[in-house]
Amino acid sequence: MKRLDAAILMGSDSDLPVMQQAADLLREFGVPFRMTVASAHRSPGYVNTYVRACEKDGARVFIAGAGMAAHLAGAVAGLTTRPVIGVPLGSKLAGFDSLLSTVQMPRGVPVATVAVDGASNAALLTVQILALSDKPLARRLAAHKKEMERKVLRKARALQKDSHVR
């Protein structure tokens, strides 16, 4: 069976446009992952089965995105000792309800939480965690950060060149 490093769960298929950002970034870094739709409220048994299966297959980090009540990340965290990263998703309250539901975890059940709709940052945090024990991945992450810096510096030079005030 193919190695698995990460698992992505989302509360609804309507969350896919945001959560796809995490999948795309993990793919870019070559991180093996699995992704599903699983609701903490409508399919709690499936959440449990999925988390257990992913653990068995080697998943070391879970990313869980949900909107509104946003209990999915907390439900996953209650089932595993592995890191869980919550992605609060935009909703009728601009994601504020999702953010509070994701970040307000009880003592002993931590969930790392990224910004509303911040699935790409959840993937980057996953890569950072995995890179602690994977030197080739750590090198790819360092190169990614260096490329981000190069892009900013190119933009800064372009703006300074076009600016009347220096």
Instruction: Report the C-alpha gap between 56 and 109 in whole angstroms.
Output: 21
Residue range 55-97, pLDDT digits in tens: 999 999 999 999 988 899 999 999 999 999 999 999 888 999 9
Contact (CB, 8 A) for 9 and 39: no
The pLDDT tens digits for 103-144 are 999 999 999 999 999 999 999 999 999 999 999 999 999 999
* Band of residue 166 on the pLDDT scale cut at 50, 70, 90: low
- Structure tokens, 125: 């945090």
**Which residues, at least 6 apart from 13, have a Cβ–Cβ distance to it below 8 Å?**
37
